[in-house]
Amino acid sequence: MSTANYFVHQLPEIQLQGGMLTPAIRRDLADLNRLYLELALSPELWFDPRFAWCDAVRSALVRSDQLTRSRMAACPFALFEIHVPVDRPEVATAPLRVEENVALAAAGEPWQARCLAFAQFALFAALRLADAAPLAVRIALGLTPAAERQLHGMCPTEMARVAASPDVVRPRWPSNPRFWAILHGAARADSASLLQSAHCFGICLLWPDVKAMSPHPPPAR
């Protein structure tokens, strides 16, 4: 049995564990993916580590139109990863003040403000999804159980400070031109079957993380 088929056979169990990718989760993922692709393909951010694709991936995607990107975004997983620091005392002891957050955004307007806003959207979406479907958010966003627990322990101002970190968001599979070529080609062709194949390929790439995930729910907030 292939990895993708095994994953499909496990969906009933995942659903019982609160991990099914519901239509609402898929909608939110597509929205975040669309925003990520828009930022990642902006020339001003090509050298930003948050969008550090290899040259082969970027050159294949840079000429894609908005409709193609929207189809690419409709994946059952994020096209980026969230990295929450598991042990970062300064975050817990020095929450970000409102004026600091504004200053961070203003320092590199307009692109840095947009990147900061995206990181905040992604973190708050991860927290909301972790409350509703913990296993799903680990699969979809690459969030480890330890990072999920850390996220649950943050107040909003602490989360804002983490969002300002340059490594909180990273590209997924930045050096895998094959995956991106398959996804881009399927989206450009507007083929449901090809897109499904691309999604299965992505699930196969996720499989090592899926196997390591704990089914236990996060601690109550």
CB 187 within 8 A of CB 60: no
Query: Can you give the C-alpha Rg of the chain in angstroms?
Result: 17
Q: Is 129 helix (H, G, I), strand (E, B) or coil?
A: helix
Query: What pLDDT is stored for residue 47 in this prediction?
Result: 86
Lowest mean pLDDT among 7-11, 46-50, 123-127, 167-171: 7-11
53: left (phi over 0), alpha (psi -120 to 50) or beta: beta
Contact 152, 127 (CB under 8 A): yes
Q: In this predicted structure, what is the pLDDT of residue 36? A: 95
Tell me, what's the pLDDT at 63?
Answer: 86
- Whole-number average pLDDT of the chain: 78
Per domain, the residue ranges of the chain are 18-211
Lowest mean pLDDT among 24-28, 101-105, 212-216, 217-221: 101-105
Quickly state the pLDDT bin for 88 (edges 50, 70, 90). low
33-67 residue pLDDT tens: 999 999 999 988 888 889 989 999 998 899 899 99
Residues ≥6 apart with Cβ < 8 Å to 38? 69
